[in-house]
Structure 1
Amino acid sequence: MGEPVWGPVHQDIVGLLADHPADVPAVVDHLTKLQDLLVRLPPLERSCPLADFNELYLTITTSVLNGLYDDRFADPVFLARLDVEFAARYFDALRYWTESSPATPRAWACLFRRMRGPDARPLPSAAAGVNAHINFDLPFALVTTFDSLESEPVDGTDQHRDYLEINQIFAERIPELRRGYLDNWQLMIDMLNGDIDDWYQGELVEYTRNVAWRNAQKIWRCRHDPEARECERVRLDDNAAALGRLLLSPLGAFLQ
């Protein structure tokens, strides 16, 4: 029998993934507990590539929760439901990987494989996780959310505006998040670039989330056609996996 996927914290992670969070505070709690476990995972421990993404995800989700508390959103029921469905897909991918299941999305597998080395730099690791979560998970989380609320993805609605408001949360948090992943020499370049890198990455997040919305609309139209929906799943998984491999490659690390 091989070594457990998660090494010395395997049983703790299995227990954590045994149930789905039911609301946004529970999502934040799950992500916090997962972060505490990931930074104990050998051989990389605190430099675990998945922890680099999970930390970013925890920060953004905490900001979303604060926005819900502060009445930032026009349709908080929609935003909270989407947050839960979105997180469920991440936790499902982790569960599949834990079980060594072939159902693990390829978009996620390319990052999960890096947990035992070779080491991946923090910023590319976080970017690869964002890629898998937005380009693959998000369109399906949107469809599930709209289906459960008996609504639909229509441009210009309160739900769409709330969805776009998350872009603003990213824009608010990206500068401090990105600089937290940089080495000293990268910080020097970042200082010379001024706000250009922050602007560029904010624009990239906005573009990527807009594409996810369009893909959700496409899946919504074929949601009752299992064959067409599966074709979309494979297409998005393949595309996100290809981008993830690029982000984690030496070229991807250099470009970031």
Structure 2
Amino acid sequence: MTEPVWGPVHRDIVDLLADHPADVPAVVDHLTKLQDMLVRLPPLEESCPLADFNRLYLTITSSVLDGLYDDRFVDPVFLSRLDVEFAARYFDALRLWTDSSPGTPKAWSCLFSRMRGPDARPLPSAAAGVNAHINFDLPFALVTTFDHLESEPVDGTDQHHDYLEINKIFADKIPGLRRGYLERWQLLIDMLNGDIDDWYQGELVEYTRDVAWRNAQKIWRCRHDPDARECERTRLDDNAAALGRLLLSPLGAFLQ
């Protein structure tokens, strides 16, 4: 008999994924519960590669929620809807993987497949998850959000301003998150490098999110053409999967 995808926590995760979060507090609650399950997933448990990404995602999303409570955003309706649509794509990928579906995005499969080993170091694992979520999921989440709100992705709008505001949250949280993934010898090198690594990671996230915005604009223009939209989906999935495999490779781990 084939062992369930999620081992001893399979039923818990299936039950969690059966519910679809409708707002940002519910997304944070889902990510929190999922984290508790992932760190109990054998054989890697606390070292589960997906848990390394989920922890980062939970931290950023919790900060977005704090920003919503503090009136940080110009258009909170847009930001809230984007956060929900963005999370939905992550949870959808998890559902597909749970069902052993060949439709699981390749961008996510390269990380999901590491949950049973071989072990992957925490920082590359988190980076591979960020890659899949931003380079593949985010453009489509933007398109779905704008379609729902009957708006469109235009530079310089309130929505674009709020989108860029998330970069500041990443810049604020990345240093602490990144150091939490490093081993002792890596922390020594990080200390010697000063703020260079933090600056580089922040610039990389900002660039990647800008590319996601541009890809969303491209998808928006062809959203009523199923063939063109599928072509974009395949292109982004293939590119993100290739980068994900590199990040999880020994070379990728060394470069990070």
Class of the TM-score when normalised by the shorter of the 2 chains: over 0.9
Partner residue in 2 for 1:227: 227
User: 2:164 — aligned with what?
Assistant: 164
Q: In the alignment, what sits opposite 1:54?
A: 54
* Match of residue 25 from structure 1: 25
Matched, 1:100 2:100: yes
CA drift of 1:36 comes to 0.2
Kindly provide the amino acid, as one letter, of the partner of residue 152 in structure 1: E
The runs of at least 4 aligned residues of structure 1 exceeding 3 Å deviation read none
Cα shift readout 1:50-70 (whole Å, capped 9, x = no counterpart): 000000000000000000000
Please state if 1:65 is matched with 2:65. Answer: yes
Q: Is the partner of 1:127 in helix, strand or coil?
A: helix
For residue 94 of structure 1, report the CA deviation from its aligned partner. Answer: 0.2
2:115 match: secondary structure = helix
Unaligned runs of 5+ in 1: none
- The answer to whether structure 1 residue 114 and structure 2 residue 114 are counterparts is yes
- Matched residues in 2 for 1:19 and 1:144: separation? 19
The C-alpha deviation readout for 1:121-157, integer Å capped at 9, x for no partner, is 0000000000000000000000000000000000000
Aligned ranges for residues 147-186 of structure 1 at < 5 Å?
147-186=147-186
TM-score in terms of structure 2 length: 1.00
**What does residue 16 of structure 2 align with?**
16
Cα displacement (A) at 1:225:
0.2
Distance in 1 between residues matched to 2:20 and 2:247, nearest whole Å: 29
User: Match for 2:178: what amino acid?
Assistant: R
Identify the residue that residue 5 of structure 1 maps to in structure 2: 5
- Distance of 2:70 and 2:115 partners within structure 1: 37
Partner SS for 1:115: coil
Instruction: Provide the secondary structure at the position in 1 that maps to 2:151.
Output: coil
Matches within 5 A, 1:233-244: 233-244=233-244
Task: Quote the Cα distance in structure 1 between the aligned partners of 2:212 and 2:45.
Answer: 33
Give the SS at the match of 1:182: coil
User: How far, CA to CA, are the matches of 2:103 and 2:113 in structure 1?
Assistant: 15
Q: Secondary structure at the match of 2:224?
A: coil
Equivalent residue, structure 2, for 1:145: 145
Which whole-Å CA distance do the structure 2 matches of 1:104 and 1:13 have between them?
17
C-alpha separation between the residues in 2 aligned to 1:11 and 1:26? Answer: 20
Q: Measure, in 1, the Cα distance between the counterparts of 2:41 and 2:159.
A: 39
Distance 1:16 1:224 in 2: 33
Q: How far did residue 31 of structure 1 move?
A: 0.0
The separation in 1 between residues aligned to 2:163 and 2:103, in whole angstroms, is 28
Q: Which amino acid aligns with 1:137?
A: D
Q: Counterpart amino acid of 2:93?
A: A
Aligned AA (1:94): L
The amino acid that maps onto 2:109 is A
Deviation at 1:19, TM superposition (A): 1.7
Distance 1:95 1:55 in 2: 19
How far does residue 76 in structure 1 lie from its aligned partner after superposition?
Answer: 0.1
Opposite residue 189 of structure 1, the aligned amino acid is I
Distance in structure 2 (CA, Å) of the matches to 1:103 and 1:43 = 26
| Corresponding position of 1:213 | 213
1:14 & 1:109 partners in 2: Cα distance?
18
Q: Which position in structure 2 is the counterpart of 1:82?
A: 82
Q: Partner residue of 2:44?
A: 44
Q: Counterpart amino acid of 1:109?
A: S
Rounded to whole Å, the distance in 1 between the matches of 2:91 and 2:150 is: 24
Output the TM-score relative to the length of structure 1: 1.00
Distance across 1 between alignment mates of 2:53 and 2:44: 15
Structure 2: which 5+ runs fail to align? none
